[in-house]
Amino acid sequence: MLSSLPPLTVVIAAPRGFCAGVDRAIKIVELALERYGAPVYVRHEIVHNKFVVDRLRRLGAIFVEELDEVPDGLPVVFSAHGVPKAVPAAAQERGLDYLDATCPLVSKVHRQAERLIEAGRHIIFIGHAGHPEVIGTFGQVPAGAMTLVETVGDVATLRPADPDNLAFLTQTTLSVDDTAAIVAALRARFPGIRAPRGEDICYATSNRQAAVKAIASRCDRLLVIGAPNSSNSVRLVEVAEREGVPARLIQRAGEMDWDWLGDARNLGLTAGASAPEVLVQEVLDTLARRYTLQVEEAEHVPEGMTFKLPRELVA
């Protein structure tokens, strides 16, 4: 019997979803709960995804914004976004057991910042004001040693005390294209500015943006599964729209806007680096109740990146 449902081709971007840093951070909380028992406190959302946070909360994790909210004698985990140096120092002073789930690629930026300051350079940091990763990175160096820029326009307003002794670093979850434009503006204005030794924007952010670009020409609409406070997820929406494809960010299938989807026949689907694959399947299952689906996954080279867990959890 022929289906009476309208046809819809869903083109799933690849790679998508969890990156190695997110996977590691979640595993750290899970192992801490096994090792110490509930509750385990987590300073800030371990990753920016409500589904993930709610699941860990059910297992016994308690999420707080400040270390002052952690009772004495209980373990605390620092989120994947990184924290200022003052936070672990305060934990040590209180005698708290703490585990640092900072993504190793964010930690790499922290180490670069320290070395540049030791070399006497002022750092121009490309990022988004208020993002936990930016706050954490600024907290690695003395106050006033780093200046934030968010746009190409910000570059024109810079008035560094020593224009010939600058360096730049970037947040790991930025738009590749936006960042390239800002870097070009910095280099044009300050030709001697020192660049990072390697790319600061992480492999997962770059790969997921490239994956959206790769499928954009085949799509009438594109859905990104991710949280509104997830920088890398928001960037995926921007990438799609720059490619001329209307795009929406949703956290769960229940947020689907059917009027927005309209009479689209080719829908792109991806997930930010903090969104688990189960949410991709949830969206597909929801679509299948309204459409006769044809699902196509884009070809890709598997990422294969893994990061070591803290020694105290695997010993």
In tens, the pLDDT along 157-178 reads 999 999 999 999 999 999 999 9
Q: What pLDDT does 315 receive? A: 67
Q: Is there a domain that residue 165 lies in? A: yes
SS3 state at 16: coil
Residue 314 lies in a domain: no
Phi, psi of 225 (to 5 degrees): -90, 120
Binned at pLDDT 50, 70 and 90, residue 62 comes out as: very high
Q: Is residue 225 part of a domain?
A: yes
Looking at the chain, the whole-number percentage of residues with pLDDT higher than 70 is 99
Give the chain's mean pLDDT.
96
Give the CA count within 13 Å in the CB-facing half-sphere of 107.
Answer: 10
pLDDT of 255: 98
231 is an annotated ligand-binding site residue: yes
Please check whether residues 30 and 14 belong to one and the same domain.
no
Is residue 160 domain-resident?
Answer: yes
Tell whether 103 is in a known binding site: yes
Residue 306 lies in a domain: no
The β-bridge partners of 220 are none
Q: For residue range 99-154, list pLDDT tens digits in order.
A: 999 999 999 999 999 999 999 999 999 999 999 999 999 999 999 999 999 999 99
In terms of domains, do 82 and 95 share one?
Answer: yes
Of the listed 65, 66, 133, 303, which one is catalytic?
Answer: 133
Other CB atoms within 10 A of residue 198 CB: 8
Rounded percentage of the chain residues whose pLDDT exceeds 90: 94
Task: Check whether residue 180 and residue 210 sit in a common domain.
Answer: no
**101 contacts 312 by C-beta, under 8 angstroms:** no
The average pLDDT across 195-211 equals: 91
Read off the pTM: 0.94
Where residue 2 falls among pLDDT bands split at 50, 70, 90?
low
- Whether residue 114 sits in one domain with residue 90: no
Q: Is 48 annotated as a binding residue?
A: yes
* One domain, residues 12 and 27: no
What number is the average pLDDT over the span 48-75?
97
Name the packing angle between helices 104-118 and 20-36 (round to 10°).
100
Q: Say if 75 falls within a structural domain.
A: yes
Q: Which of 164, 189, 214 is the last residue of a domain?
A: 189
Is 133 catalytic? The answer is yes
**Domain finish residue from 103, 123, 146:** 103
For residue 214, give both structure tokens.
């790769």
Q: Which two tokens stand for residue 270?
A: 């991806």
Q: Is 26 exposed, middle or buried (0-12, 13-18, 19+ CB in 10 A)?
A: buried
Query: Which pLDDT score is estimated for 45?
Result: 96
Cα angle 302, 303, 309; round to 5: 135
Total of domains in the chain? 3
- Has 128 been labeled as part of a binding site? no
| Domain of residue 37, CATH code | 3.40.50.11270
Q: Residue 301 and residue 15: Cα distance in Å, rounded?
A: 8
State yes or no: 172 annotated in a binding site: yes
Task: Assess whether pLDDT exceeds 80 at residue 50.
Answer: yes
Question: Which residue segment(s) compose the domain that 282 sits in?
Answer: 7-18+203-297
Residue 225: which H helix or E strand, with range? strand 221-225
pLDDT at residue 312 in the model: 87
305 lies in some domain:
no
pLDDT of amino acid 242: 97
Which whole number is the average pLDDT over 274-289? 98
From CA 203, how far away is CA 105, in angstroms rounded? 9
Residue 235, domain member (yes or no): yes
Q: List 3's β-bridge partners, or say none.
A: none
According to the model, what pLDDT value does residue 200 have?
A: 85
